[in-house]
């Protein structure tokens, strides 16, 4: 056997194949997550810029009333997510993961263009909020379909050894999308006056999002399909369907709904709503609140690969249970302290602490859910209960929080979040370890 500097040719070949497999996996992870980033950028651009365009569509009332109405449209967009999850989940299970990813990002592009172009209330009256609502419904269909296809694709291409670590990048891109939306907001706040942002500047991020969606569409069309899906291509039984999902996997469907309820509520409380909470209930300007939110999201993003790796070591459901439990215990003191403090560093530390606990769930949630279902029904199984829980708890988070505030009982929202997260903690603790099922076929 030929030896090269003490290393056999066979060993060199194995190392080369390992590097090649790692690069191929990295390419698949990045390609699969690119659409996720753009979709969530567009989704969160609405929440990030609503401080400026609320009065464009709802000129009557004070700031809280205007934000309440834009939050209601934000919630309406969530009503479309289960429909999108159902349509794109079936499509991903029957036609392919990468095809579903490309189709969902194309739909998001269309919705963003509508938001960017719709005239305000002063020009077309009540049709302005109506068209805005229709655009959010299209975006809801897109995001509802994106999550299941993305979580499934990334879990399938991740490999079993470090599946938690690799699949954690699915949520990294969700945070990255939100961070990108906040970054664009910060740049525009620096370049434009508040009057310019309110008049026309808020439309810029939606134009950017539509352009990025076109680029990502062509990237995802060129992706390689996951080996798990290819191995099951053409297998007629069992066909993916909503009724089949509920009949064959009722326990797994309920588990995903409950886990997502606490995770989604906590996520929207500490991310999209936090920017408004710091200005509407705290003592920070809009610019300061945006900066604090952006800094906390950077920390939150960086936590995910680390916690995904820890989940691979100690057990992913155990990590989720710990994160939910700490989140339930800390929400009241953290939110109360945020409303009292005038210190930016203290506020940042409090938000980061809340996001650390939440990351115990978000870092590993995609792979835990994907491991519960067989390949022919995996995308729909992950997407549909996730979207339903997001509609009920995530999409209404801002509206419920603002309604509590308007009623003078803001602390009631903190109790609500704590209770839902506690239920999720108990579910994660008792659900067992889905890794033992071995339902995801390795490459």
Per-residue confidence band for 5, with pLDDT thresholds at 50, 70 and 90: low
**392 DSSP 8-state letter:** I
Question: Which residues are bridge partners to 32 per DSSP?
Answer: none
Per-residue confidence band for 144, with pLDDT thresholds at 50, 70 and 90: confident
pLDDT exceeding 70 applies to what percent of the chain? 88
Phi-psi region of 6 (alpha: psi -120 to 50; beta: other; left: phi over 0): left
Q: What is the mean pLDDT of residues 291-307?
A: 92
The residue ranges of every structural domain in the chain are 32-227+240-437
At the second CATH level, the architecture of 32-227+240-437 is Up-down Bundle (1.20)
**315 DSSP 8-state letter:** -
Each residue of 63-102: b (16+ CB within 10 Å) or e? eeebbbbbbbbbbbbbbbbbbbbbbbbbbbbbebbbbbbb
Per-residue confidence band for 1, with pLDDT thresholds at 50, 70 and 90: very low
Q: For 227-243, how does the pLDDT look when each residue is reduced to its tens digit (9 = 90+)?
A: 777 777 766 556 667 78
Per-residue confidence band for 370, with pLDDT thresholds at 50, 70 and 90: confident
φ/ψ (deg, to 5) at 228: -65, -40
List for the chain the helix, strand, coil content (%; round to 5): 85, 0, 15
Q: For 6-57, how does the pLDDT look when each residue is reduced to its tens digit (9 = 90+)?
A: 555 545 444 444 565 567 667 777 777 777 888 889 888 887 788 788 778 8
Q: For 155-185, how does the pLDDT look when each residue is reduced to its tens digit (9 = 90+)?
A: 777 766 677 787 888 888 888 888 898 889 8
Q: For 124-138, 311-325, 414-428, which range has the lowest pLDDT when averaged over its residues?
A: 124-138
Question: Please, what is the average pLDDT of the chain?
Answer: 84
Q: What is the mean pLDDT of residues 309-328?
A: 94
**pLDDT confidence of residue 443:** 44
Q: What is the mean pLDDT of residues 253-276?
A: 93
Q: What is the mean pLDDT of residues 310-337?
A: 95
CA of 204: how far to CAs of 197, 208, 224, 302, 337, in Å?
9, 6, 33, 28, 35
Task: Please give the Cα distance from 328 to 334 (Å, whole number).
Answer: 11
Q: Which helix or strand (DSSP H or E) is residue 4 part of?
A: strand 3-4
φ/ψ (deg, to 5) at 8: -70, 155
Q: What is the mean pLDDT of residues 89-104?
A: 87
**pLDDT confidence of residue 13:** 45
**pLDDT confidence of residue 12:** 43
Let me know the angle formed at the C-alpha of 32 by 31 and 37, rounded to the nearest 5 degrees: 90
**126 DSSP 8-state letter:** T
Whether the predicted pLDDT of 313 surpasses 80: yes
pLDDT exceeding 90 applies to what percent of the chain? 33
**226 DSSP 8-state letter:** P
**pLDDT confidence of residue 440:** 64
Q: What is the mean pLDDT of residues 275-283?
A: 87
């Amino acid at each position: 056997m030929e030896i090269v500097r003490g290393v056999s040719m066979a060993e060199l070949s194995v190392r080369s194949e390992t590097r090649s497999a790692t690069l191929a996996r990295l390419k698949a992870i990045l390609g699969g997550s690119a659409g996720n980033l753009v979709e969530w950028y567009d989704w969160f651009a609405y929440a990030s810029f609503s401080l400026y365009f609320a009065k464009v569509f709802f000129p009557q009332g004070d700031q809280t009333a205007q934000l309440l109405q834009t939050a209601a449209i934000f919630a309406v967009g969530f009503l479309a997510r289960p429909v999108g999850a159902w349509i794109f989940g079936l499509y991903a299970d029957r036609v392919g993961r990468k095809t579903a990813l490309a189709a969902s990002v194309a739909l998001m592009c269309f919705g963003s263009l509508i938001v960017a172009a719709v005239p305000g209330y002063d020009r077309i009256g009540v049709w302005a909020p109506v068209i805005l609502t229709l655009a959010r419904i299209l975006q809801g269909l897109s995001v509802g379909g994106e999550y299941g296809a993305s979580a499934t694709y990334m879990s399938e291409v991740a490999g079993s050894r470090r599946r938690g670590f690799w699949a954690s990048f699915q949520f990294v891109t969700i945070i990255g999308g939100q961070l990108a939306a906040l970054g664009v907001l910060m740049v525009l706040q620096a370049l434009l006056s508040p009057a310019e942002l309110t008049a026309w500047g808020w439309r810029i991020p939606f134009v950017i999002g539509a352009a990025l969606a076109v680029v990502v569409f062509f990237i995802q069309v060129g992706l390689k399909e996951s080996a798990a899906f290819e191995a099951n291509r053409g297998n007629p039984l069992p066909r993916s369907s909503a009724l089949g999902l509920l009949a064959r996997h009722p326990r797994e469907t309920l588990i995903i709904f409950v886990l997502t309820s606490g995770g989604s509520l906590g996520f929207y409380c500490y991310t999209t709503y936090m920017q408004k909470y710091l200005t509407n209930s705290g003592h920070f300007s809009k610019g300061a609140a945006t900066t604090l939110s952006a800094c906390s999201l950077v920390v939150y993003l960086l936590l995910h690969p680390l916690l995904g790796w820890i989940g691979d070591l100690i057990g992913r459901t155990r990590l989720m249970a710990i994160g939910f439990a700490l989140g339930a215990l800390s929400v009241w003191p953290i939110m109360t302290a945020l409303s009292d403090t005038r210190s930016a560093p203290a506020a940042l530390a409090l938000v980061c602490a809340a996001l650390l606990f939440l990351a115990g769930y978000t870092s590993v949630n995609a792979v835990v859910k994907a491991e519960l279902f067989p390949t022919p029904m995996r995308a729909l199984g992950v997407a549909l209960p996730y979207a339903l829980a997001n509609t009920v708890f995530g999409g209404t988070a801002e509206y419920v929080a603002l309604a509590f505030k308007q009623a003078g009982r803001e602390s009631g929202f903190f109790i609500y979040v704590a209770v839902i997260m506690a239920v999720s903690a108990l579910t994660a603790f008792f659900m067992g370890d889905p890794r033992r099922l071995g339902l995801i076929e390795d490459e």
